Amino acid sequence: MHKNVTLNKENTPSVDLTKCNTILSKYSKATHADLIPILQQIQDAYGYLPMAALEEITVRTRIPISKIYGVVTFYSQFSMEPRGRHTIKVCVGTACHIKGAPDIKKKITEVLHINEGETTSDYKFTYEPVACLGTCFLAPVMMVDGRYYGKLTIEKTETILKSY
């Protein structure tokens, strides 16, 4: 399922393409098979996929921008919006839901003043629910930057968030 992405060139902030060009220089004869690794590296470098970088990919690789948008909007790993330095993923699977995930989600919203799928205004946190983190024995569980926190309570959740 494709994500909805609004593309508005007038609202695109200027971006230094040095990192993008360094990445693209490794792909002098890029093919469509190279697109996902290129996008992953650019997102790692910038924290998201700036419009200017996508346009540079098109120029340098001759992959049509429509193909690039198709990939970016299809895969949930890609974001065209700046993301926070820390990504919080909260499991909303059955085990976590039964063990209190709704309360954990509510606490995150209260502490960070953002809703699911949003990024704090200081770009410190991005908060997203996920279907499963594969750690049902730790339910309810959240992951911050790849680190798992399990058997959460609302108090423990607040302490963890404030530690960042």
pLDDT digits (tens, 9 = 90+) for 123-160: 999 999 999 999 999 999 999 999 999 999 999 999 99
| Total-model pTM | 0.69
Contacts of residue 45, Cβ cutoff 8 Å, sequence gap at least 6:
19, 20, 23
Q: Say if residue 52 is in the same domain as residue 92.
A: no
Higher pLDDT, 12 or 143: 143
Q: How far apart are CA 87 and CA 83, in angstroms?
A: 8
CATH number, position 149: 3.40.30.10
Q: Say if residue 66 is in the same domain as residue 92.
A: no
Q: How far apart are CA 146 and CA 6, in angstroms?
A: 29
Q: Say if residue 104 is in the same domain as residue 62.
A: no
Q: In what order do the strands lie in the sheet with 142-144?
A: 125-130, 86-91, 142-144, 147-149
Each residue of 54-88: pLDDT tens digit?
Answer: 999 999 999 999 999 999 999 878 999 898 999 99
Domain that holds residue 15: 9-74
Each residue of 24-56: pLDDT tens digit?
Answer: 999 988 888 999 999 999 999 998 999 999 999
In terms of DSSP H, where are the helices of the chain? Answer: 18-24, 35-46, 51-61, 65-74, 94-98, 101-112, 154-162
Structural domain includes residue 31: yes
Q: Which residues is 21 bridged to in the sheet?
A: none
Q: In b/e form, how buried is each residue of 106-121, taking b as 16+ CB within 10 angstroms?
A: ebbeebbebeeebbee
Into how many domains does the chain fold? 2
φ/ψ of 148, rounded to 5, equals -85, 140
